[in-house]
């Protein structure tokens, strides 16, 4: 039984890639080792050599996406906090026809539900969650430091933005609420991003923090 850290370099990447493509195609509920093997261009026995069971492989996969998705959400070509915040939010929009992304978002949701009954999944997905919240929080904090965003609690704002996006996407992928992720992007732009921006705003408009909240 090999753990994720034992599987080296290329082989590890190839197995993770195959798992990702299999999840995009088949989703989580009915995924089999054969589905993953079908996406793997090396031998099936090599897959089984590294991972005895689907659960073991998926645990390694969850561990892997913590870094992978997190890094992608955090990466940006600009240093400008407003652009980075808009970029972060835009990455959650799934447009009609992006079936791979819908299926993968659903698989992530199924893994989250699975996590309730599985301590190891829960730990790894919690790291994933915290890392993504931290990414938005850092952007908001940078914006405050640079004076482009008004003073808010970066952590609380970041968590609200992230969980709101995931909530809208959940309805899109489970019930087929078309464009729900895009509508959430637009509402976040109007209510949150626009509200954070300081420039051109009358001072009266910033004084909206209710001390009871």
The footprint of its own copies (CB under 8 A) covers 27, 29, 106, 109-110, 112-113, 115-117, 122, 125-126, 129, 152, 156-157, 159-160, 163-168, 170-171, 173-177, 180, 183-184, 186-192, 194-195, 201-202, 204-205, 208-210, 213
Contacts of 39 (CB under 8 A, 6+ apart): 17, 18, 19, 21, 22, 25
Give the phi and the psi of residue 202 in degrees, each rounded to 5. Answer: -70, 140
CA distance 89 to 162: 8
Q: Which is nearer to its own copies, 14 or 171 (CB)?
A: 171
Query: Could you tell me the two tokens for 131?
Result: 């890392």
In the complex, minimum distance from the CB of residue 24 to its own copies, in angstroms, rounded to a whole number: 14
In the complex, minimum distance from the CB of residue 79 to its own copies, in angstroms, rounded to a whole number: 23
Q: Which is nearer to its own copies, 15 or 164 (CB)?
A: 164
Q: Which is nearer to its own copies, 46 or 73 (CB)?
A: 73
Query: Could you tell me the two tokens for 104?
Result: 């993968």
Query: Do the Cβ atoms of 110 and 26 come closer than 8 Å?
Result: no
Q: Which is nearer to its own copies, 34 or 187 (CB)?
A: 187
Distances (CA, A) of 131 to 60, 66, 69: 17, 8, 10
Burial of 65 (0-12, 13-18, 19+ CB in 10 A): buried
How many CB atoms neighbour CB 24 within 10 A?
A: 18
In the complex, minimum distance from the CB of residue 1 to its own copies, in angstroms, rounded to a whole number: 26
Q: Which is nearer to its own copies, 15 or 136 (CB)?
A: 136
CA distance 132 to 30: 28
Helix, coil or strand: residue 110: helix
Helix, coil or strand: residue 137: helix
In the complex, minimum distance from the CB of residue 163 to its own copies, in angstroms, rounded to a whole number: 4
Q: Which is nearer to its own copies, 7 or 170 (CB)?
A: 170
In the complex, minimum distance from the CB of residue 127 to its own copies, in angstroms, rounded to a whole number: 10
In the complex, minimum distance from the CB of residue 67 to its own copies, in angstroms, rounded to a whole number: 18
């Amino acid at each position: 039984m090999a753990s994720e850290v034992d599987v080296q370099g290329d082989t590890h990447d190839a197995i993770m890639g195959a798992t990702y493509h299999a999840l995009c195609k088949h989703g989580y509920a009915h995924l089999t080792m054969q589905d993953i093997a079908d996406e793997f261009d090396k031998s099936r026995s090599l897959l089984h050599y590294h991972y005895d069971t689907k659960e073991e492989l998926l645990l390694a996969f969850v561990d892997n996406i913590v870094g992978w998705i997190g890094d992608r959400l955090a990466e940006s070509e600009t240093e400008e906090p407003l652009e980075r915040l808009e970029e972060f939010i835009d990455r959650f929009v799934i447009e009609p026809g992006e079936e791979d992304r819908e299926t993968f978002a659903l698989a992530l949701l199924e893994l989250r539900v699975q996590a309730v009954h599985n301590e190891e999944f829960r730990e790894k997905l919690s790291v994933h969650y915290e890392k993504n919240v931290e990414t938005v929080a850092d952007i908001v904090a940078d914006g405050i430091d640079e004076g482009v965003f008004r003073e808010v609690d970066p952590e609380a704002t970041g968590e609200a933005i992230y969980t709101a996006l995931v909530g809208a996407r959940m309805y899109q992928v489970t019930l087929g609420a078309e464009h729900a992720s895009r509508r959430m992007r637009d509402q976040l732009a109007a209510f949150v991003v626009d509200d954070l921006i300081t420039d051109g705003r009358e001072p009266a408009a910033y004084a909206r923090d209710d001390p009871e909240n």
